[in-house]
Amino acid sequence: MLSLKPKLWEIPDIPQVVKQNLDAKIIQLKERLQQVAKAHRSARLASSLAVEDMLITDVIAKNNIGIEVFTLDTLLLNKETLALIEQVKIQYPTLAFRVYQPKADDVQDYESTHGKLAFYKSTELRHACCGIRKVVPLNRALQGADAWLTGQRQAQSVTRVHLPFSEQDQQRGIAKYNPIFDWSEVEVWAYILRFHIPYNLLYLKGYPSIGCEPCTRPVKCGEAIRAGRWWWESQDSKECGLHTHES
């Protein structure tokens, strides 16, 4: 008997009610972003280039909101993600957009000491890799900022169900905002599709959450959105150290 491959995640269909309510959500998001920009001297969006971040980036750019945007090139990204970085630069030529990479010496020291694929061996070694490739570059990207923003949503995973709009980044001593914390996956895609926003082509291959290439796999239909991130670990450890949600 032939075994059928499990159906992979697909871009969701958009119900009519979501389309009808989208304008109100956009107005609310614009007001939130303007509120953040007004309250801070230097606010910056940390974009993972996920559809959530592309949505926020688009609203910032279209409304000329004074929030800088940056992304982290971990040097382990898929070619599709790297292509989207270049597309963002073309799509938003006037946007303040920067790319940060890890220090080559830090990467080399980690791989020489633990091995190139050591992050599969333990959560501790995976966190150490994320620290070098994400957290340290993030700290550089946030130097001089008094607030930063993310595209996180409550519905993404069990580690984010209590995510608020605003919180305090205790480690860095600055404010942190999650402006679409209460958006659903369908609402995000409603915006992306309505305004023809560029997005990572890996979504079309069953990737609803995209990280580094060796740490991300496609997700089966019905699985949690972030099930493909660090899939060899338990659900309650699936963060990279960028977000601690301390308030």
Give pLDDT tens digits for 169-184: 999 999 999 999 999 9
What is the value of pTM for the model shown? 0.91
Tokens of 77: 């990204």
Q: Which 8-state DSSP code applies to residue 15?
A: -
DSSP code of residue 52 = H
What pLDDT is attached to residue 3? Answer: 55
Choose, from 129, 130, 215, 240, the residue flagged as catalytic.
240
- The pLDDT score that the predictor gives to residue 178 is 98
Helices (H), the chain: 16-39, 51-62, 79-91, 104-114, 123-130, 136-141, 185-194
Helix (H, G, I), strand (E, B) or coil at 121: coil
Please state the domain extents for the chain.
Answer: 16-102+145-199
Under the banding of pLDDT at 50, 70 and 90, the label for residue 63 is: very high
Residue 240 bears catalytic tag:
yes
Token digits for 91? Answer: 């799509």
Note whether 31 and 5 are within 8 A (CB). no
Residue 19, phi then psi, degrees to nearest 5: -60, -40
Of residues 166, 159, 214, 191, the one with CA closest to residue 53: 191
| pLDDT band at residue 247 under the 50/70/90 scheme | very low
Say whether domain 16-102+145-199 belongs to CATH 3.40.50.2000.
Answer: no
